[in-house]
Amino acid sequence: MDKLLTLRTSVVSIQLNSVTLKMLGTLLIGTLAIALMSLSAGSQWLNPIEVVKELLLSEPGQHAFVIETLRLPRVVTGFLVGGALAVSGLILQSLVRNPLASPDIIGITSGASAAAVFFLSYLAETVSALWLPFAAILGAALTSLIIYLLAWRQGVTPLRLILIGIGLVAGLGAMTTFMIVLSPIATSMMAYVWLTGSIYGSDWQDVTALLPWLLVLLPLSLMLSRTINVQELGDPVTVGLGVQVQRTRFVLLAISVALAGSAVAYAGAIGFVGLIAPHIARQLVPRSFGSLAPASLLIGGCLVVVADTIGRTAFLPLDVPAGVFVSAVGAPFFIYLLYRQHR
Amino acid sequence: MMSSSVRSFQLLIAIIMLVVAFVASIVLGQTSIPLGTAFDAFTNYDANSIDHIILTTTRLSRALTAMFVGAGLAVAGALMQAMTRNPLASPGIFGVNAGALFAIVLCSTLFSIASLQDYIWIAFAGAGFAGVLVYGLGTIGRDGVTPVKIVLAGAAITALFVSFTQGLLVINQDGLDSILFWLAGSVAGRSLELVRPVLPFLFIALVASLFLGRHINILVSGEDVAKGLGQRTILIRLLMGLLVVGLAGSAVAIAGNIAFVGLIVPHIARALFGTDHRWLLPGCMLLGATLLLLADIAARFLIMPQEVPIGVMTALLGTPFFIYLARQTAVAQS
Amino acid sequence: MTLMMFRSQRYSDFSISLQLSRKLLLGFLFMVTAIQEASAEQRIVEHSMGSTKVSGTPVKVVTLFQGATDTAVALGVIPVGVVDSWVQQPTYKYLRKDLADVPHVGLESQPNLEVIAGLQPDLIVASKRRHEKIYGHLSQIAPTIALETVFDFKDTVAMMGLAMNRQQQANALLQSWKNRVADFQQRIPQKLGEQWPLEVAVLNFRADHARIYLKDSFAGSILNDLGFIRPANHPQGQWVVKLSTKESIPTMNADVFFVFMTEDDPAVKRNYLQWTNHPLWKSLDAARNHQVFQVDEVAWNMSGGIMGANQMLDQVYEHFGLNPVM
């Protein structure tokens, strides 16, 4: 028998066996290695040992500015964004009981995009661009609420949620296109960058704005991990087990929206992370939320960090939005996964 | 059951509606043209009359394009819904539009494309590829094809192509500002000479679909029944698939990203003509053409002198309808 | 004294670097002006993102939008880093000679911050519209000024002149521009008589649509200054109208058309021919009176700087058969 490690506090109770722990440990080490590589890579390759020294020593060295001001916040933001999207996708997939769900497919990201493009097209002349993240979060929240209300009919079923979300994606996409085609000021370029998703120019302010969301929402979702596991069994079972299905669903959905919304607000409409990361996680750790969530978080974070590192080094001096490479790396892999899973 | 005479009467009304929409599309616009003048333009053409010029050069080709594209998308949607027994299937949902879009943007970034005719062939290829991919993704798995799986596979492939497209747009922004209207869906800038190479395909595919009506009825009643009746189901499915790619592909190639026509029209047609595909398919053709003509007329008036891209118009009309359908479907399934 | 030593140290460094870049003569001029204006030790530049203190005479300037690059060259300073151009990539033809060896720092929308930092500039010129998000980073690299827009070329000249300690040159550029505009305004009524003021439309053709550039665009604002007027039916408060159907051709109507497009794109060329061969096109005043002029898209739309504006003005002079004053 596997030894079980049980983390049990008054609110959280997660069981992890030693295999899972080893896997999570490996992932964590992998993440740190990727982060270090990403900190070393750039317009100029820095020796990783130098980078570590720079990070650990309090005295600023020769490359302090490049490492600590330019690269580090970007790596951290990328990791947080990817992790938030991945966990958001994991929750949605459990909730909807379908491996193809993710924040960008069921409309959360589209709502944020429409709001962001509206901001860029009609408000950018009068309002500071620093308000853009708020517009995006507002858009995501509003859209999700609309999806939820439209899907309500004596309760919300996952199926209706997903179908209505997909319908809204098309409608919101059309509105976004409309604004880009006919906006009175020249914004199409900024809009395209936003829609592709980019963590270019991230600073510590972004990190401090993004971090609280994750610090609150991740433990919260772990607290709910038992109900999430139950949710996956389907309506008849969940009702039988006495879980207050509708209320839990609403809370889970809200967590998922808040995670995706805050990530998208700071990075633009990066796609596919929420879809792929949980899939990869399922190949590596057992299918319980308590072990899937940290694994997805790490994988999603790495995905965005890697994509962004490619984006800012592959075509120097161009700094290509990370979203391009997330899809480029993620999409073929996703198709392969689906193929393998269903063979 | 409705009798044939009732249905014939309904079809006749649909034809009359189409004619009215067609005439309206020809006379209404930035300059309204009196009916009499419009009639003259065809019988007694005056090369100095501005009205006549507008009519023959822009309005006519635009109306014809909208008609063919609308009919093509609607029939493609009906065929898809029959094939997958899925009320939510349609070219847009299947990722066909996004595939065509991506193919165009990719090719115009890599090569310099000389003409809109080349765009049309490239779009055709992209549309076909995406359609096959989604169908493939939606069918794998233990429980076979389910509506939700197809819709999700379509959404995933759409998301994929859209994000690729946006990435390319960021890198080659100025060049692609150039094809804004095609990206957004438009029947406005198409002169007949441009559309002509594709029209025969559309026309043949439309006519061919009419002959399939009886076979589709049998197929829809169930694979076993169809086999029992001696139908070669694989052949019929293959034919339908080919028609779908032909119809949807050429529609997207001509007019760009026009969503929801293929989804809505078959449902309206079913409500009117019933589920017999011998009547349903011609009904879809007529209603699809009418719907797109009307959407195009509305698109001209909203923000003069500019125009709303027609793809935006249909999406705004279609979203509420899709949501209504989705609610129904989800109820039926649970 | 220590300050003086420090300064002379900097100057010698700087002249070596110029020797390396084989622009000794130009460097010499820099030094002369720099010493002349040594009194202007520190200047506070008020700009769209606040105020920035710039000291001395910046010589390593990074320009992050097309108009700033143009203006730097016009002020006699070759930037040490520029962004890629929109067309004629990577550098507009009219700037290629001056910017032959200048490193690029990426796209205007996402310039590479590490590359900029590596250039160790002493002044960065950005634009609020494009670079608000990275302003914080930029100003940690070097004093950064940010223009509100990317095409208000007069503002750009004045502000960059102040920041680069080249007010004299900036004033000279602006004065010469004023003189030229005044000259045009004075001579064109004599030339055209009753016909002046002319109604003008700036047209642009793309692969699947056509555009009218209005008053608020770069070319539009210059034509305003010159005294051209707009047809009454052209929308206000917008910089462009996009027309997708040839039925809209009559909206273009004006006495004179200036047309620009990406001429080496066959799809654009083809679309242009289709629009201009349409019978409605032939009914337009400008077309009937042969007042359709093809102009350079870089000067008229893409440059956004004083050199581009002057080239544009040259072309306007030329089309009306007037000899431009310099």
State pLDDT tens for residues B222-272: 767 777 776 677 788 888 888 888 888 888 878 888 888 888 899 889 888
Query: Which chain B residue is nearest to residue C284, measuring alpha carbons?
Result: B50
Query: B334 falls in which pLDDT band (50, 70, 90)?
Result: very low
CA C84 to chain centre: 14
CB contact under 8 A, B47 and C279: yes
Judging contacts by C-beta atoms under 8 Å, the chain B residues touching residue A180 are 180
Query: B127 falls in which pLDDT band (50, 70, 90)?
Result: confident
Say what the pLDDT of residue A60 is. 76
Phi, psi for residue B230 in degrees, rounded to 5: 85, 20
Judging contacts by C-beta atoms under 8 Å, the chain B residues touching residue A177 are 183-184, 257, 309, 311-312
CB contact under 8 A, B315 and A170: yes
Given a cut of 50, whether residue C13 has pLDDT beyond it is no
CB contact under 8 A, C109 and A193: yes
Say what the pLDDT of residue B163 is. 77
Say what the pLDDT of residue B259 is. 80
Judging contacts by C-beta atoms under 8 Å, the chain B residues touching residue A197 are 163
Distance from CA of A72 to the nearest CA of C (A): 12
Say what the pLDDT of residue C124 is. 95
CB contact under 8 A, C267 and B178: yes
Q: What is the pLDDT of residues C208-257, one digit of tens each?
A: 888 999 888 899 999 999 999 988 888 777 778 888 888 888 889 999 99
Contacts A–B by Cβ distance under 8 A = 160
Q: What is the pLDDT of residues B167-214, one digit of tens each?
A: 777 777 666 666 777 777 777 766 666 777 778 878 888 999 888 888
Q: Which domains does chain A have, with CATH numbers?
A: 4-342 (1.10.3470.10)
Q: String of b and e for C160-180 (b: at least 16 CB within 10 Å)?
A: bbbbbbbbebbeebbeebeeb
The beta strand positions in chain C, using DSSP E, are 42-47, 50-55, 61-63, 81-82, 123-127, 144-147, 200-205, 210-213, 240-243, 256-260, 292-294
Asked if this assembly's ipTM is beyond 0.85, the reply is no
**Nearest CB neighbour to B326, from listed A167, A327, A328:** A167
Given a cut of 70, whether residue A2 has pLDDT beyond it is no
Q: What is the pLDDT of residues C2-12, one digit of tens each?
A: 333 333 333 33
CB contact under 8 A, A182 and B164: no
Chains that touch A (3 or more CB pairs under 8 A): B, C
Say what the pLDDT of residue B95 is. 83
Token pair, residue C187, equals 């001579």
**Nearest CB neighbour to C246, from listed B57, B112, B114:** B57
Query: Which chain C residue is nearest to residue B186, measuring alpha carbons?
Result: C244
Query: Which chain A residue is nearest to residue C82, measuring alpha carbons?
Result: A317
Chains that touch C (3 or more CB pairs under 8 A): A, B
Say what the pLDDT of residue C9 is. 37
Say what the pLDDT of residue B287 is. 94
Give chain C's mean pLDDT.
83
Angstrom distance (rounded) from CA A43 to CA C81: 14
Q: What is the pLDDT of residues C89-114, one digit of tens each?
A: 789 999 999 999 899 998 888 899 99
Distance from CA of C187 to the nearest CA of B (A): 35
CB contact under 8 A, A151 and B141: no
CB contact under 8 A, C206 and B179: yes
Distance from CA of A12 to the nearest CA of C (A): 39
Give chain A's mean pLDDT.
83
Say what the pLDDT of residue A158 is. 75
Say what the pLDDT of residue B145 is. 62
Mean pLDDT check: name the lowest of A141-145, A326-330, C31-35, C183-187.
C31-35
Q: What is the pLDDT of residues A41-73, one digit of tens each?
A: 988 888 888 888 888 887 777 888 888 889 999
Given a cut of 50, whether residue C27 has pLDDT beyond it is no
**Nearest CB neighbour to A201, from listed C104, C133, C237:** C133
CB contact under 8 A, A153 and B327: yes
Token pair, residue A106, equals 């069921």
Token pair, residue C254, equals 């004006």
Query: A304 falls in which pLDDT band (50, 70, 90)?
Result: very high
Chains that touch B (3 or more CB pairs under 8 A): A, C
As separate numbers, helices (DSSP H) first and strands (DSSP E) second, chain A gives 15, 2
Q: What amino acid is encoded at B112 in this protein?
A: S
Angstrom distance (rounded) from CA A76 to CA A196: 19
The beta strand positions in chain A, using DSSP E, are 4-8, 13-17
Say what the pLDDT of residue C270 is. 83
Which residues, in sequence order, are bridge partners of residue A8? A13
Given a cut of 70, whether residue C199 has pLDDT beyond it is yes
Say what the pLDDT of residue A3 is. 53
Q: String of b and e for B19-48 (b: at least 16 CB within 10 Å)?
A: eebbeebbbbbbeebeeeebebbeeeeeee
Distance from CA of A320 to the nearest CA of B (A): 8
Overall average pLDDT of the B62-88 stretch: 88
**Nearest CB neighbour to A316, from listed C112, C129, C141:** C112
**Nearest CB neighbour to B115, from listed C233, C247, C267:** C267
Q: What amino acid is encoded at C207 in this protein?
A: A
Say what the pLDDT of residue A167 is. 84
DSSP class per residue in B232-268: -HHHHHHHHHHHHHHHHHHHHHHH----SHHHHHHHH
Given a cut of 50, whether residue B44 has pLDDT beyond it is yes
CB contact under 8 A, B327 and A193: no
Contact C145, C47 (CB under 8 A): yes
CB contact under 8 A, B116 and C207: yes
Residue % of chain C over a pLDDT of 90: 47
Judging contacts by C-beta atoms under 8 Å, the chain A residues touching residue C118 are 43-44
Angstrom distance (rounded) from CA A176 to CA A110: 9
Phi, psi for residue A334 in degrees, rounded to 5: -60, -45
Would you say how long chain B is, in residues?
334
Contact C42, C104 (CB under 8 A): no
Give chain B's mean pLDDT.
81
Angstrom distance (rounded) from CA B193 to CA C185: 46
Residues 93-132 of B with CB under 8 A from A: 93
**Nearest CB neighbour to A70, from listed C108, C117, C132:** C117
Q: What is the pLDDT of residues C118-157, one digit of tens each?
A: 999 999 999 988 888 899 999 999 999 999 888 889 999 9
Find tokens 């007010």 and name the residue: C167
Say what the pLDDT of residue B143 is. 61
Instruction: Name the 3-class secondary structure at B219.
Output: helix
CB contact under 8 A, A316 and C115: yes
Say what the pLDDT of residue C38 is. 43
Phi, psi for residue C61 in degrees, rounded to 5: -105, 135
Residue % of chain B over a pLDDT of 90: 14
Q: Which domains does chain C have, with CATH numbers?
A: 44-172 (3.40.50.1980), 193-295 (3.40.50.1980)
CB contact under 8 A, B312 and A177: yes
Name the range with the highest mean pLDDT among A167-176, B147-156, C74-83. C74-83
Q: How many CB atoms lie within 10 A of CB C29?
A: 12
Distance from CA of B15 to the nearest CA of A (A): 30
Query: C77 falls in which pLDDT band (50, 70, 90)?
Result: very high
**Nearest CB neighbour to B92, from listed A157, A170, A327:** A170
Phi, psi for residue C54 in degrees, rounded to 5: -120, 130
Q: Is the dihedral of CA B245, B250, B256, B261 positive or negative?
A: negative
Mean pLDDT check: name the lowest of A299-303, B104-108, C280-284.
B104-108
**Nearest CB neighbour to A193, from listed C110, C136, C242:** C110
Residues 148-167 of B with CB under 8 A from A: 148-149, 151-153, 155-156, 159-160, 162-164, 166-167
Angstrom distance (rounded) from CA A39 to CA C25: 42
CB contact under 8 A, C115 and A198: no
Judging contacts by C-beta atoms under 8 Å, the chain B residues touching residue C208 are 116, 178-182, 186, 189
Angstrom distance (rounded) from CA C75 to CA C169: 6
Residue B234, chain A, CB below 8 Å: the answer is: no
Given a cut of 60, whether residue A102 has pLDDT beyond it is yes
Overall average pLDDT of the C256-260 stretch: 93
Contacts of C156 (CB under 8 A, 6+ apart): C67, C68, C71, C125, C147, C304, C305, C306
CB contact under 8 A, B305 and C243: yes
Say what the pLDDT of residue A72 is. 93
